[in-house]
């Protein structure tokens, strides 16, 4: 379906009407803040601010990574320079840039983020306000979310407001599309090749005609699989003469179109986003099982459509959005590791419609109030296809509604103290449950309070507390995963109580932060061994997470940036009144260290070291009363070298790069039996044209 849409989208970005030219603005920098300068894209000159590395200006501020605060919340902003260094790829490639975040790949081949030791379903991922989590599963495969066309990323940890989207317990990742900031246009061409048959080609075009902006992005990428480390243990199903991991191929095509209307004469904006993608993907069998699942995704297709707008009139500010998400996926199960005979299939067809609205009003110079509401309808239909023996499986239809309402007040007592408090209601109903018993609706309250103390412009302290739910997805309730899971239609919601306190300070060449958090979840949903396979259950006791986060960014000289993140945490389940029960996929520490050098001549070098401490993984070969196996601590190192020519006039510059991922060829695992990629080399070229 979506392959037909990809060429159609290529024409949409050029239909925006022209209007009068915009007035450009320039701003000055201070000792504590970087310059923000708007200049024509054609003037590709190296600028140096008082607190950042040399900047290749694109009409927007380009930084490495900044620690930013809003009242009672942590967030990290990832600038354009670092995004470009992901070299296309997918959202999963952002993991090394986000603090307290671990990238893992599960037995279904899905790339997922685990934040602060929480589960993947506690994180929201959005593009221009459109949720990218599939409602059927309340998560999504990050390796199938393309970065092409993304111009900015803000990552929040924890709960920042009572008005956060539903099911947001661990945080959210907000991405925005690239947009032309000044009059004119820019076209970017990129080609990447690498080991294991990797090939990626993409084109990005963005333009501004007066009040109209448009962005078009097209991309195709493929690989034969990923290479194993030379130290990887021999798997049951792996050919010992090959480094290419069995059944890990990927091929994906994506298209994105964004249209925006931002008139100078009004305080109003309108945006439209369309994104389409189609992919086929192999799923590596679990290396430690002689009876592993042999699966493939022969087709995964997705179409996103979103409309959004905001307006400001006097003391009022209004925002509204409407989005439609169409998702289809086929799953094939094979009899053995030859992948020649299919013994069962499954087809999933999902549709989600989401409406959001938010209104803010400044009652006084010190007091603001805001209200928001959202409603989501998700429809799922699956066809079990042919079962073993040739019998036709059942077709099931399911539906879930998610409603959220809330209000919040923000009081600025003076220039130093800010207080925020809010409350809301969230509820989930499942009017259609397929062949499973009907369920009553789940309804829970949301509360949040925060205080921030800012003694000066460069120093901030905060504390907050919240209580909010996470409602169970339809897949957790009803899916059998082609015979792997025993459904549990009686699952209830998870309830999280969260407290955190922290502070940050920024100097002219450095930023530092420290943050402590305490989270306790009632009814945490975990996997358990039961007769017939695995089952998701609500734990009787609570799950508690204690953590300390440290962050540091240092720019000792212009062009050199050191950024570091370290998280120490302990996540345990309550057993007989004590919190000492081990849980799967909760590392005791996470650390990242990045060193980046940008030279005025055009050279750019970045190195990253990513480490994870001891964690446990669910093991089907272990006893049912102790199904967790310990995984050793891991360290991976990545290097990227690039040289950039800044160009002039219609030729706006180019870049050639070489990157080596997992330089030390370390043998690391996402889960037991699921080794990660070994050392891999990639080469690429990027050319920018425009006026």
Q: Which has more confidence, 633 or 63?
A: 633
DSSP state, residue 487 = -
For 380-405, how does the pLDDT look when each residue is reduced to its tens digit (9 = 90+)?
999 876 555 555 567 899 999 999 99
For 665-687, how does the pLDDT look when each residue is reduced to its tens digit (9 = 90+)?
999 999 999 999 999 999 999 99
pLDDT at 476 over 80: yes
Q: Comparing C-alpha atoms, which of 233, 238, 107, 114 is closest to residue 619? A: 107
Per DSSP, the three-state class of 207 is: strand
Phi-psi region at 272: left, alpha or beta (left = phi > 0; alpha = psi -120 to 50):
beta
Place of tokens 């420290």: 514
pLDDT at 96: 86
C-alpha to C-alpha distance for 36 and 210, rounded to whole angstroms = 21
* Secondary structure of 596-662 as H, E, C letters: EEECCCCEEEEEEEEEECCEEEECCCCCCCCCEEEECCEEEEEEEEEEEECCECCEEEEEEEEEEEC
Q: What is the DSSP string of 101-131?
A: EEEEE-TT--EEEEETT--GGGEEEEETTEE
Q: What is the band of 550 on the pLDDT scale with cuts at 50, 70, 90?
A: very high
Per DSSP, the three-state class of 508 is: coil
- 457-493 b/e with 16+ CB inside 10 Å = b? eeebbbbbbbbbbbbbbbbbbbbebbebbbbbeebeb
Q: Output the six-digit token pair for 7.
A: 């060429």
- 229 phi and psi angles, rounded to 5 deg: -65, 150
Contact 23, 262 (CB under 8 A): no
For 557-602, how does the pLDDT look when each residue is reduced to its tens digit (9 = 90+)?
999 999 999 999 999 999 999 999 999 999 999 999 999 999 988 9
C-alpha to C-alpha distance for 392 and 328, rounded to whole angstroms = 20
C-alpha to C-alpha distance for 47 and 29, rounded to whole angstroms = 12
Q: Comparing C-alpha atoms, which of 263, 271, 258 is closest to residue 211? A: 263
For 55-102, how does the pLDDT look when each residue is reduced to its tens digit (9 = 90+)?
333 333 333 445 444 433 467 888 777 888 888 789 999 988 888 999
Per DSSP, the three-state class of 84 is: helix
pLDDT at 23 over 60: no
For 282-325, how does the pLDDT look when each residue is reduced to its tens digit (9 = 90+)?
999 998 888 888 999 999 999 999 999 999 999 999 999 999 99
pLDDT at 262 over 90: no
Q: What is the DSSP string of 538-589?
A: E-SS-EEEEEEEEEEEE-SSTTEEEEEEEEEEEEEEEETTEEEE--BT--SE
Is the four-CA dihedral 634, 661, 173, 312 of positive or negative sign? positive
**Domain residue extents for the chain:** 2-690
Contact 43, 26 (CB under 8 A): no
Contact 236, 289 (CB under 8 A): yes
Q: Output the six-digit token pair for 531.
A: 């007769």
Half-sphere exposure of 485 (CA within 13 A, CB side): 18
- Helical H runs in 135-278? none
The mean pLDDT of the chain is 86
Question: Which helix (H) or strand (E) element contains residue 308?
Answer: strand 295-313
Q: Output the six-digit token pair for 14.
A: 């050029």
pLDDT at 627: 87
- Helical H runs in 380-514? 474-478
Phi-psi region at 433: left, alpha or beta (left = phi > 0; alpha = psi -120 to 50):
alpha
Q: Comparing C-alpha atoms, which of 264, 89, 77 is closest to residue 176? A: 77
Q: What is the largest CA-CA distance in the chain?
A: 73
Contact 42, 652 (CB under 8 A): yes
Q: Output the six-digit token pair for 49.
A: 């601010």
Contact 563, 594 (CB under 8 A): yes
For 232-253, how does the pLDDT look when each residue is reduced to its tens digit (9 = 90+)?
887 788 888 888 999 999 999 9
Mean pLDDT for 95-112 is 90
Strand pairing class (395-412; 367-383) = antiparallel
Q: Output the six-digit token pair for 260.
A: 């925006």
Q: Where are the beta strands (DSSP E) in 224-265?
A: 250-261
Q: What is the pTM of this model?
A: 0.87
Contact 43, 530 (CB under 8 A): no
Contact 8, 255 (CB under 8 A): no
**Residues facing 186 on adjacent strands:** 206, 690
Q: Comparing C-alpha atoms, which of 89, 174, 162, 73 is closest to residue 123? A: 174
Q: Which CATH architecture has domain 2-690?
A: Beta Barrel (2.40)
C-alpha to C-alpha distance for 285 and 293, rounded to whole angstroms = 6
pLDDT at 12 over 50: no
Contact 416, 454 (CB under 8 A): yes
**Residues facing 642 on adjacent strands:** 604, 657
- Give, in order, the Cα–Cα distances in Å from 666 to each of 41, 225, 658: 42, 18, 20
């Amino acid at each position: 379906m979506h392959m037909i849409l990809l060429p159609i989208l290529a024409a949409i970005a050029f239909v925006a009407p022209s209007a009068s030219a915009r007035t450009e603005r320039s701003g000055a920098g201070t000792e504590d803040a970087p310059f923000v300068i708007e200049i024509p894209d054609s003037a590709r000159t190296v600028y140096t601010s008082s607190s950042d590395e040399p900047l290749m200006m694109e009409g927007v501020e380009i930084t490495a990574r900044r620690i930013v605060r809003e009242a009672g919340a942590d967030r990290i902003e990832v600038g354009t320079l670092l995004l470009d260094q992901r070299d296309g790829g997918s959202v999963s490639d952002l993991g090394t840039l986000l603090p307290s975040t671990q990238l893992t790949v599960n037995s279904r081949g899905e790339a997922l983020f685990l934040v602060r030791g929480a589960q993947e379903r506690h994180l929201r991922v959005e593009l221009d306000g459109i949720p990218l989590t599939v409602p059927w599963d309340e998560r999504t495969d990050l390796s199938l979310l393309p970065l092409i066309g993304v111009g900015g990323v803000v990552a929040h940890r924890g709960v920042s407001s009572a008005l956060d989207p539903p099911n947001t317990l661990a945080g959210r990742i907000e991405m925005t599309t690239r947009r032309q900031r000044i009059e004119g246009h820019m076209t970017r061409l990129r080609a990447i090749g690498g080991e294991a048959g990797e090939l990626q080609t993409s084109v990005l075009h963005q333009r501004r005609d007066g009040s109209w902006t448009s962005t078009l992005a097209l991309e195709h990428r493929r690989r034969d699989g990923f290479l194993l480390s030379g130290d990887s243990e021999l798997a049951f199903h792996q050919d010992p003469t090959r480094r290419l991991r069995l059944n890990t191929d990927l091929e994906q095509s994506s298209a994105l179109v964004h249209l925006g209307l931002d008139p100078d004469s009004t305080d109003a904006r309108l945006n439209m986003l369309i994104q389409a993608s189609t992919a086929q993907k192999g799923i590596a069998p679990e290396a430690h099982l002689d009876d592993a699942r042999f699966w493939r995704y022969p087709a995964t297709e997705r179409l996103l459509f979103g409309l959004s707008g905001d307006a400001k009139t006097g003391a009022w500010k209004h925002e509204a959005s409407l989005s439609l998400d169409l998702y289809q996926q086929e799953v094939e199960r094979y009899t053995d590791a030859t992948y020649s005979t299919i013994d069962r299939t499954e087809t999933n067809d999902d549709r989600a419609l989401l409406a959001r609205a938010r209104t803010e009003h400044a009652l006084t110079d010190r007091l603001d109030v805001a209200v928001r509401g959202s409603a989501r309808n998700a429809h799922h239909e699956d066809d079990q296809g042919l079962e073993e023996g040739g019998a036709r499986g059942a077709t099931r239809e399911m539906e879930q509604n998610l409603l959220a309402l809330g209000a919040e007040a923000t009081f600025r007592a003076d220039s130093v103290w800010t207080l925020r408090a809010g409350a809301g209601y969230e509820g989930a109903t499942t009017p259609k449950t397929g062949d499973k018993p009907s369920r009553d609706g789940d309804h829970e309250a949301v509360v949040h309070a925060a205080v921030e103390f800012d003694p000066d412009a460069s120093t901030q302290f905060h504390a907050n507390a919240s209580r909010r739910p996470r409602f169970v997805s339809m897949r957790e309730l009803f899916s059998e995963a082609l015979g792997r899971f025993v459904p549990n239609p009686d699952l209830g919601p998870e309830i999280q109580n969260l407290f955190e306190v922290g502070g940050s300070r920024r100097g002219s060449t450095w930023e530092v932060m420290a943050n402590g958090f305490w989270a306790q979840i009632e009814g945490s949903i975990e996997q358990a061994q039961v007769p017939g396979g695995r089952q998701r259950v609500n734990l009787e006791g609570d799950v508690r997470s204690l953590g300390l986060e440290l962050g540091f960014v240092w720019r000792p000289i212009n062009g050199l940036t050191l950024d570091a993140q370290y998280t120490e945490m302990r996540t345990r389940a309550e057993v007989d009144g004590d919190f000492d029960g081990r849980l799967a996929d909760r590392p005791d520490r996470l650390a990242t260290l990045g060193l980046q050098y940008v030279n005025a001549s055009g050279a750019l070098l970045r190195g990253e070291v990513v480490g994870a401490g001891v964690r446990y993984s669910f093991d089907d070969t272990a006893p049912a009363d102790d199904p967790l196996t310990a995984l050793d601590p891991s360290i991976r190192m990545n290097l990227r070298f690039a040289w950039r020519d800044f160009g002039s006039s219609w030729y706006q510059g180019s870049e050639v790069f070489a990157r080596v991922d997992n330089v030390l060829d370390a043998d690391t695992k996402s889960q037991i039996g699921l080794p990660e990629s070994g050392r891999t080399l990639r080469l690429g070229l990027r050319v920018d044209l425009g006026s």
